Copies of this chain bind each other. A is one copy, B any other.
C-alpha cells in the first residue's frame, strides 16, 4: 500500500517538508487537478499553516517540476501534454541507458539478487493473478525495477536527477494514463537483468534504451487510440 517513496524518503522534520509531501501526493493522485492555479491563501487555510511555509513547499514542488511559477502571477500545477511525455521518454532513454551501463559494472551481488527476486515476483504475479488488480501492482513493480538499476549505477548525481527531477513527472503521467503493463515489457526486463548478471554494460545499455523506446511507442499508441474526452479529463 505504499505511495512509492523512491527518493524523498526522508522524515518530514519541518512543516514545509510535511506540506511538500502532502501536496506532492495530492498532485500525483489527482486531488489537485492538472493545470489548476494554486491559491496561496486558500491552500494555507486548508492545511492550517502560514503562507510562508506554504511558499517554501511550493518552491520544493517547483524543483520536482510538478508546478511552475511566474513572478507576481502565481503557481500552477503542471499540465498534461503528450509532447512533454514523449520528451521525458527521450531523456529516460539516454539517462537510464547510461544507468544500466554503469550498473553492470557497479551493482553489488546483493543488489543484483534483490533485482532478480523483484523480477521473479513480478513475473509470478503477472502469470497467476487475474487482470483485476494487476495494473496497480505492476506499475509499482516497474518503477521499482528502474529505481534498482539507477541505484545500482552508483552515480549519486544520476540518481538524484532522475528521482528528484524526472520521476515525479513520470508518476504524474502514469497516474493519469493507468496503462496496462504488458508481458512484453516484462520480457524486456528479464533480458536486461541477464545482461547485468553477465556484467555486460554495453548490452545492458542497448537493451535498456530499447526498452524505454518501446515503452514510449506503446504509450504513444495507447494515447492515440484514446478518445479526446478521456485525454481532456486531465486538463
A interface residues, Cβ below 8 angstroms from B: 13-14, 17, 52, 55-56, 59-60, 62-63, 71-72, 84, 87-88, 90-91, 93-95, 97-98, 102, 155-158, 161, 165-166
* A98 CB, nearest partner CB in chain B, Å: 4
22 contacts between A and B (CB under 8 A): A13-B71, A14-B72, A17-B71, A52-B52, A55-B56, A56-B59, A59-B59, A62-B63, A84-B156, A87-B155, A87-B156, A87-B157, A87-B158, A88-B157, A90-B98, A90-B155, A90-B158, A91-B155, A94-B94, A94-B97, A95-B95, A165-B165
The residue from B63, B90, B102 contacting A102, defined by CB atoms under 8 A apart: B90
Contacts of A88 in B (CB 8 A): 157
Contacts of A59 in B (CB 8 A): 56, 59-60
* A84 CB, nearest partner CB in chain B, Å: 7
Point out which of A52, A91, A97 has the most chain B C-beta atoms below 10 A from its C-beta: A91
Interface residues of A: mostly helix, strand, loop or mixed?
helix
Q: From known contacts A156-B87, A157-B91, infer whether A13 and B72 are also in contact, taking CB-CB under 8 Å.
A: yes
Are B102 and A98 within 8 A (Cβ)? no
